[in-house]
Amino acid sequence: MRNPLVRPYPKDWFLRTRAYRLFMLRELTSVCIAGYLVYLIWWLYKFNQVGAEGYEELLSFVRHPVSIGMHTIALIAAVWHSITWFNLTPSVMPMRIGEDKVPDVVISIATGFGPWLVLTGFILWATLG
């Protein structure tokens, strides 16, 4: 029996096309978010260890410029990941009403961007108002 043909791919295959570069950037945002979640779990663990008396020490760690930079990178990665996912939703979940296809923009707004904006508005109202 013969071995199947395996075509060799160069290591920089994703750099050749813009769509592939954007795809890899989207996947990289998942790694950034996973790293942030590990950091958040660690922070919660440390908070559980020190209790209320060590809270100020933990807050000083969170206020460190490296921590602020990490939070900023995680926020940018989460926003990019969310936007690209909401734009992909019509491809993953096409909708029809009768024989007519629902426009992609309507699906993106109704299932992603709309609820995201409503929830963001509610959170801003609850925290700032």
Residue span of the structural domain in which 109 resides: 16-128
Beta bridge partners of 96: 101
> Does 9 map to a domain?
no
In a domain, residue 66? The reply is yes
* CATH value at residue 29: 1.20.1300.10
Residue 120 inside a domain? The answer is yes
Instruction: Identify whether the C-beta of residue 93 lies closer than 8 Å to the C-beta of residue 107.
Output: yes
Query: Is the full-model pTM beyond 0.85?
Result: no
What tens digit of pLDDT does each residue of 87-116 get? Answer: 999 998 899 999 999 999 999 999 999 999
Between CA 80 and CA 91 the distance in angstroms is 18
Please choose, from the candidates 52, 114, 104, the residue with its C-alpha nearest in 3D space to the C-alpha of residue 82: 114
On whether residue 8 sits in a domain, the answer given is no
For residue 11, being part of any structural domain is answered with: no
pLDDT of residue 13: 85
- Total of domains in the chain: 1
pLDDT by position in tens, the chain (length 129)? 788 888 888 888 888 899 889 889 999 999 999 999 998 899 889 888 887 778 888 888 889 999 899 899 999 999 999 999 999 999 988 999 999 999 999 999 999 999 999 999 999 999 997
Q: Tell me what pLDDT residue 72 has.
A: 93
In a domain, 23, yes or no: yes
| 38 inside domain | yes
Ranges of beta strands (E only) in the chain are 96-97, 100-101
